[in-house]
Amino acid sequence: MKRIVLNDHGPLKSFLFFVALTFISVYAFAQVTEKPFIKLTVPVKEENNVAASQQFLVGSTCKTCSLMINGERVKVYATGAFAYELNLVEGDSAFTMVAISGEGKSVSKRIHFLYAVPKPSEPVKEFGIESIRTFPEGDLLLLPGDKIEFRVKAFPGKNVRLFNNIPLYELPLTETKGMPGIYQGRYEVKNTDSFFNFKMPVMIIDSGGQVLQKETTSLFSMMSPLASDIALTKGRLAHLEYGLGDDRLGGAKIGYIDSLIPLKIIGKVGTHYKIQLAKTRTAYIPDELVTLAPKGTFAPASLTGKWRVYGDSAYDYVNVELFSRLPYQSFQLMDPSRIVVDVFGASNNTNWITQLENAKEISSVNYEQLADDIFRINIQLRHQQHWGHQVFYRGNTLVIKIKRQPADLSLNKLTIAVDAGHGGTNIGAVGPTGIAEKTLTLALSLKLQRLLEKEGAKVIMTRTTEKFFDNKERILFYRDSLPDLLLSIHLNSSADPIRTSGTATFYRYPGFRALNAAIYDQLLSLGLKEYGNNSSFNFMLNSPTEYPNVLIETLFLSNPEEEMKMLDEGFQQKMAEGIVQGIKVFLKGCR
């Protein structure tokens, strides 16, 4: 038997040729015999009632299949994904999808859309009331002097009145887009009102004295004089909101505040207490974040006492003595770099400020009495870049803790937090092929972890496996571990899978813009489309002030071309490298 040896080129070449030929044959056979299929992610049902003409068919088929929709060939990406736009006509439309494999095998799927153009709003044609809207919306807890606005749609040209005979006035057609019968007015709560879980009646009266009545769906209650009007914040994530936002991110946050802070209640809208911060400032707080104080608890107010400004090995501190805990708001300013804290209910009684030499980041502090009950603390920083601050109480002393710029801005001296978005039961967005956002955020985050650790950085990961973490858990985890930077990794999604695309970064505070801009520029250098470096974002992971943070919406998973990029391990690696390079550019700018 003749041995095959390295210098016996004839037999070896024949053997290698045989192996290669076998591999190619098996691969080609597998490609040719790939079974055709059609899997839709949009829509999920075969029968669809819709109210818009623009619709999409989004999904996947086999990678080597061709796809026809009503006889028209549709682009199939290398992943098997496709996205096809429909412009429906009114009525029933059917679409037959046919996927054909390389050897001619086929499968089909039929989708129906029933498109009904929304009927234009019509005037009320019979004597009566069609609808009542109140502003603010929802159940209300009220005090004398509060105002409830009403907008009523009813039979035109009649006498419409509220409870206690308060008239509503029919608006001119120029203010209602030509719709008659729109009545508007306001009810001001009186000292004599005493309703509880009361549905406010609205009456329509004709010239003959006929009366019809309809009640609001919202419930109205007066605050009892026997009930407490002071709420105490509780937990580690109590926060104030500017207003009653109703988008998916909720009301815009003023900021997080410490626990056991008394707040003056002046009403309630739905599940949110309305709070009087100062004579000219109100806010809202979810009822789950407070407990009611005993009746007789004083409204929050205090004089300011002595100040102390000092530092330790990593932080500077501003301590302001108060008689009681008060609500506050902090924000960042640039050019020059400053931290500002407004304390609500405080009046100046400070006679001196002691500043020690061991405070390294704070160059100076001063104050302003903006109003009788709004006291402003101004803190000037030595560096342009904000590295984070935290406001809390130690007893009744207000503490502002300011992180110094690291002495060594090398990556191997920093702690970087990498937050893989979603996870476990929270799958996030879904791409045309059915891939979940949680899977791709984890894959990219693990690559980021390896690259950062290779640079010598300490890396803290929210998750390294397929596990669920609530955003509140994430915030508390990073509040305790205090990274130097936080990178939150996500993918975007849109109802339009064809035209909407691009990479984006999101931040809330202006002091963290530089980090976002540096990473965003590096992602654009990969040839990605621009979706913006977005500020004032109300996402929970952007809300901490303790460390610079960035939400990276890498690409649109809903877009087949961008999904294809994100499924490519090589592209994931390039994106991770771009993010790391962006951090380096940011750090270089800080020097």
Q: What is the pLDDT of residues 19-53, one digit of tens each?
A: 444 444 444 444 456 899 999 999 999 999 999 99
* Listed residues 264, 292, 320: the one ending a domain: 292
pLDDT band at 296 (very low <50, low <70, confident <90, very high): confident
276 and 199 belong to one structural domain: no
What's the total number of domains in the chain?
6
We report the CATH number of the domain holding residue 268 as 2.30.30.40
248 and 104 belong to one structural domain: no
CA atoms within 13 A on the CB side of 460: 18
* Listed residues 266, 292, 318: the one ending a domain: 292
We report the CATH number of the domain holding residue 520 as 3.40.630.40
The parent domain of residue 159 ranges over 129-221
433 and 534 belong to one structural domain: yes
Position 89 in a domain? yes
456 and 569 belong to one structural domain: yes
Strands 374-381 vs 389-394: parallel, antiparallel or unpaired:
unpaired
pLDDT at residue 404 in the model: 97
Tell me what the mean pLDDT of segment 478-497 comes to. 97
- pLDDT above 60 (res 337): yes
- The helix (run of H) or strand (run of E) holding residue 453 is helix 437-454
Query: For the segment 456-468, what is each residue's pLDDT rounded down to a tens digit?
Result: 999 999 999 999 9
283 and 371 belong to one structural domain: no
Position 353 in a domain? yes
Please state, rounded to an integer, the average pLDDT across all residues of the chain: 93
Query: For the segment 62-78, what is each residue's pLDDT rounded down to a tens digit?
Result: 999 999 999 999 999 99
We report the CATH number of the domain holding residue 211 as 2.60.40
- pLDDT above 90 (res 575): yes
485 and 577 belong to one structural domain: yes
- The helix (run of H) or strand (run of E) holding residue 444 is helix 437-454
318 and 467 belong to one structural domain: no
512 and 526 belong to one structural domain: yes
392 and 435 belong to one structural domain: no
CA dist 451 and 145 (Å) reads: 61
Position 121 in a domain? no
For residue 257, the tally of other CB atoms under 10 A from its CB is 23
pTM of structure: 0.90
Residue 504 in tokens: 């984006």
* Listed residues 61, 80, 115: the one ending a domain: 115
- pLDDT above 50 (res 520): yes
443 and 586 belong to one structural domain: yes
We report the CATH number of the domain holding residue 328 as 2.60.40.3500
- pLDDT above 90 covers a percentage of the chain that reads 90
Nearest Cα neighbor of 225 from 309, 143, 116, 138 is 143
- pLDDT above 50 (res 6): no
pLDDT at residue 591 in the model: 87
- pLDDT above 90 (res 55): yes
- pLDDT above 90 (res 372): yes
Position 122 in a domain? no
64 and 92 belong to one structural domain: yes
Query: For the segment 351-361, what is each residue's pLDDT rounded down to a tens digit?
Result: 999 999 999 99
- Cis ω for the linkage preceding 300 (within 30 of 0): no
Position 297 in a domain? no
19 and 43 belong to one structural domain: no
CA dist 390 and 37 (Å) reads: 55
